[in-house]
Amino acid sequence: MISNTKIHLDKKTILELTKLNISSDDVLEIIELKDGWFNTAYLIEFVNEFSCVLKVGPPIDADIMNYEINMMASEVACLKLVSSNIKIPSPKILFSDLSRSVIQYQYFFMDYLEGKSWDKLKSKLSDHQNNSISHQLGELTAAINSYESDFFGYFNLEPKFEMWYETFRSMCLFLFKDALKYKVLLPINESTFLSVLSRYKSSFDEVKKAKLIHWDLSGPNIIIRKLSENNYSLTGVIDFERALWADPLMENILFDINNKNKAYFEGYKHNLLTTANQTIRRIFYNMYLCLIMVIEDGPRNYDDKSSVTWAFTELKKNFKLLNDQNIDG
């Protein structure tokens, strides 16, 4: 993905950082991992068969959204938090430098997780195999959501609040400020959105405890491996940069409010979408995600606008759902 936040490091700089912080062994190959939309990542393979990943943040003066401030620091801190939990297979931080003193970018090295992303294999797997991965993902998500905090909010970003409604409202305000700053046209204006949100405040007040959520458990971030001819296993999850303390129902894997992912909930051991109030909150979380996807094209200027077009349509669709006569807050 081509994005204005992604930078390019030359081979000489990558080798210098690697030798300074990881190993003096000879590097066999450097491969840019191009799937991400925000940071730049390189797979570094050594002659001794060891591999690691170098992840590099955007320039200090890059146009980014408010919620993306301190995002690399958030990912490093969150990965360190869950690193000892065997139920959450994730990369280990090998070295991090957020000071910009060696190069002008923040960066860190982490383990390379063997396998392929689920989105690249999903269409080739049987329903049974995909259901098995969904079940394992449910178990992994439950382990992530088991971490608790006294305050709601982004992992490494202020402000934080004791009440979920105030937190979510503040997060939405950040987005509308971004839309104004980058002159992004939205199908819903700020005052209308906040008015409808206030109408459903009681739905948000049901959420009493802040839980850790990954918030980007999409196919590209789920790593799986083939163990035998018909057996695939979830071997890791990556990209914790958007983690936050929130309602577990906000995990983006739950975007489908029709609640069809039976295997996932069986792994999670609890169905999070059973009441009208839960459905209302999930619709707002869908709109929050879609707002981000539409607004971020302002600073990013993506070469491929298909995801922006999809999000714009889904934003209107989900806003309309709140007026459904079957949903009563």
The tokens for 154 are: 């982004």
Indicate if 237 and 104 belong to the same structural domain.
Answer: no
Burial 35-61 (b: 16+ CB within 10 A, else e): ebebbbbbebebeeeebbbbbbbbeee
Indicate if 155 and 294 belong to the same structural domain.
Answer: yes
CB-based contacts of 97, cutoff 8 Å, min separation 6? 21, 106, 107, 108
d(CA 184, CA 282): 24
Asked if 75 and 240 count as a contact pair (C-beta separation under 8 A), the reply is yes
Q: Which pLDDT tens digit goes with each residue over 223-243?
A: 999 988 888 999 999 999 999
Indicate if 53 and 182 belong to the same structural domain.
Answer: no
What is the model's pLDDT at position 323? 74
Kindly state whether residue 207 falls inside one of the protein's structural domains: yes
**Which CATH number do you get for residue 59?**
3.30.200.20
Asked if 295 and 67 count as a contact pair (C-beta separation under 8 A), the reply is no
Expressed as residue numbers, the domain containing 204 is 116-321
d(CA 242, CA 285): 14
Kindly state whether residue 326 falls inside one of the protein's structural domains: no
Asked if 156 and 70 count as a contact pair (C-beta separation under 8 A), the reply is yes
What is the model's pLDDT at position 129? 95
The tokens for 91 are: 């990369």
Q: Which pLDDT tens digit goes with each residue over 110-159?
A: 999 999 999 999 999 999 999 999 999 999 999 999 999 999 999 988 88
Indicate the residue among 111, 135, 166 that finishes a domain: 111
Number of domains in the chain: 2
More confident residue, 166 or 37: 166
Q: Which pLDDT tens digit goes with each residue over 62-100?
A: 999 999 999 999 999 999 999 999 999 999 999 999 999
Kindly state whether residue 327 falls inside one of the protein's structural domains: no
Kindly state whether residue 329 falls inside one of the protein's structural domains: no
Indicate if 251 and 288 belong to the same structural domain.
Answer: yes
CA 258 vs CA 20, 138, 141, 253, 276: distances in Å: 51, 17, 19, 12, 12
Indicate if 201 and 68 belong to the same structural domain.
Answer: no
Kindly state whether residue 307 falls inside one of the protein's structural domains: yes
- Lowest model confidence (mean pLDDT) among 174-183, 263-272, 316-325: 316-325
Amino acid code (one letter) for 286: N
Indicate if 179 and 281 belong to the same structural domain.
Answer: yes
Kindly state whether residue 4 falls inside one of the protein's structural domains: no
CA 86 vs CA 70, 133, 238: distances in Å: 27, 17, 15
d(CA 254, CA 215): 10
- Lowest model confidence (mean pLDDT) among 10-14, 159-163, 302-306: 302-306
**Which CATH number do you get for residue 234?**
3.90.1200.10
Q: Is the pLDDT of residue 264 over 80?
A: yes
Indicate the residue among 111, 136, 171 that finishes a domain: 111
- pTM for the model: 0.93
Indicate if 25 and 169 belong to the same structural domain.
Answer: no
pLDDT band at 1; cut points 50, 70, 90: low
- Mean local confidence (pLDDT), 275-304: 93
CB-based contacts of 221, cutoff 8 Å, min separation 6? 117, 214, 237, 238, 239
Q: Which pLDDT tens digit goes with each residue over 18-44?
A: 999 998 889 999 999 987 778 999 999
What is the model's pLDDT at position 108? 97
Indicate the residue among 52, 76, 111 that finishes a domain: 111
Indicate if 94 and 181 belong to the same structural domain.
Answer: no
Kindly state whether residue 3 falls inside one of the protein's structural domains: no
Indicate if 88 and 164 belong to the same structural domain.
Answer: no
Q: Which pLDDT tens digit goes with each residue over 190-211?
A: 999 999 999 999 999 999 999 9
More confident residue, 84 or 259: 84
Indicate if 216 and 137 belong to the same structural domain.
Answer: yes
Indicate if 107 and 190 belong to the same structural domain.
Answer: no
Indicate if 166 and 229 belong to the same structural domain.
Answer: yes
Kindly state whether residue 71 falls inside one of the protein's structural domains: yes
The DSSP bridge partners found for residue 33 are 41
